[in-house]
């Protein structure tokens, strides 16, 4: 098996999507999505429920496969088994073992990525401190609140220090103070060269991204910096831009005004 390409190898983009098509039961969920995300970018996907964000995230990571088009991660076609260690993934639904403690969950996921011994223990302590779960590692996850489970899922995604993080609504259920801390860490990681792709419904989170992709009805309706998107829409805020551009897309596609 060939090695995973190294960070910045030949300056390959972190992700390249070309004319992605995805259909379920005859319905087009993603329609001609093309997107290039360079290494080290903090990229946000913004869209209403049912717009195709989570489906797109799953295609990026190889969890799902497109009906048409292509996906490449660090220059390698996706899906591909060897690329699993290249990224960290946090899904909307927490994939945790409720009967195990927080520490046992992290040890399990760390072992899947080849971490062991002192290195594994050091990474468990580091990610637990980041999400403020150090004092709760000995508790069974079944006793965690919803917000604590989200924090543990984020910690698991960060364990193996991936070069690419794909986070689907990572701060849902997390209190505002910790949410600010998590975003500060994401910003710091991107400055260190880690590529971060995050879906969000929170407008102030969207404004923290280097670039945004606005998605509606399975189409990318805008891809640019938050400032450029606001200027393009001729409005004052990202929220107003999201509404205005969504309405324009609805008119073009004949689906009516956005709600």
- Convert the pLDDT of each residue in 51-79 to its tens digit: 888 899 999 999 899 999 999 999 999 88
Q: Which of 100, 138, 106 is nearest to 122 (CA)?
A: 106
Q: How confident is the model at residue 179 (pLDDT cuts 50, 70, 90)?
A: confident
Cα–Cα distance, 152 to 141 (Å, whole number): 9
- Residue 259 confidence (pLDDT) above 50: no
Our separate counts of H helices and E strands in the chain read 8, 10
Distance CA 226, CA 206 (A): 8
Coil, strand or helix at 157: helix
Query: Tens digit of pLDDT for each residue in 24-41?
Result: 988 999 999 999 999 999
In this predicted structure, the answer to whether residue 250 has a pLDDT above a threshold of 80 is no
Q: Distance between CA atoms of 47 and 34, rounded to whole angstroms?
A: 16
pLDDT (mean) for 221-235: 94
Comparing 55-59, 165-169, 177-181, which segment has the lowest mean pLDDT? 177-181
Question: At a CB cut-off of 8 Å and minimum separation 6, what does 140 contact?
Answer: 98, 99, 100, 101
**pLDDT grade for 255, boundaries at 50, 70 and 90:** low
CA dist., res. 231 & res. 247, Å (int): 16
Strand order in the sheet with 195-200: 87-90, 164-168, 195-200, 42-46, 211-216, 219-224
pLDDT for 248: 83
Q: Which value, to the nearest 10 degrees, does the dihedral of the CA atoms of residues 242, 247, 253, 255 take?
A: 110
Using the 8-state DSSP alphabet, how is residue 69 labeled?
A: E
Which residue spans of the chain are classified as CATH 3.40.50.300? 40-67+164-254
The pLDDT score that the predictor gives to residue 5 is 58
Q: What is the 3-state secondary structure (H, E, C) of 133-152?
A: CHHHCCCEHHHCCHHHHHHH
Q: How confident is the model over 44-54, as pLDDT tens digits?
A: 999 887 888 88
CATH assignment of 40-67+164-254, among 3.40.109.10, 3.40.47.10, 3.40.390.10, 3.40.50.300: 3.40.50.300
Does pLDDT of 130 surpass 80?
Answer: yes
* Per-residue pLDDT tens over the stretch 91-111: 888 889 999 999 999 999 999
Sign of the torsion angle spanned by Cα atoms 176, 181, 187, 190: negative
């Amino acid at each position: 098996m060939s090695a995973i390409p190294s960070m910045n190898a030949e300056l390959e983009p972190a992700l390249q999507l070309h004319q992605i098509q995805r259909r379920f039961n005859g319905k087009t969920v993603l329609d001609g999505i093309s997107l290039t995300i360079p290494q080290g970018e903090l990229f946000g996907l913004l869209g209403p429920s049912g717009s195709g964000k989570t489906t797109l995230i799953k295609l990026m990571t190889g969890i799902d496969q497109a009906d048409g088009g292509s996906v490449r991660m660090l220059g390698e076609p996706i899906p591909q088994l060897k690329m699993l260690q290249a990224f960290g993934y946090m899904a909307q639904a927490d994939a945790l073992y409720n009967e195990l403690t927080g520490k046992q969950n992290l040890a399990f996921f760390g072992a899947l990525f080849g971490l062991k011994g002192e290195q594994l223990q050091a990474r468990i302590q580091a990610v637990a401190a980041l999400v403020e779960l150090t004092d709760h590692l000995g508790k069974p996850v079944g006793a965690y609140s919803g917000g604590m489970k989200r924090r543990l899922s984020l910690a698991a995604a960060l364990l193996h220090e991936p070069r690419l993080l794909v986070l689907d609504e990572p701060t849902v259920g997390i209190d505002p103070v910790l949410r600010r801390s998590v975003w500060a860490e994401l910003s710091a990681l991107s400055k260190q060269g880690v590529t971060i792709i995050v879906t969000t419904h929170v407008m102030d989170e969207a404004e923290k991204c280097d670039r945004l992709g606005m998605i509606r009805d399975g189409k990318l309706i805008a891809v640019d910096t938050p400032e450029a998107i606001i200027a393009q829409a001729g409005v004052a805020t990202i929220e107003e831009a999201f509404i205005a551009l969504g309405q324009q897309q609805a008119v073009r596609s004949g689906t009516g005004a956005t709600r």
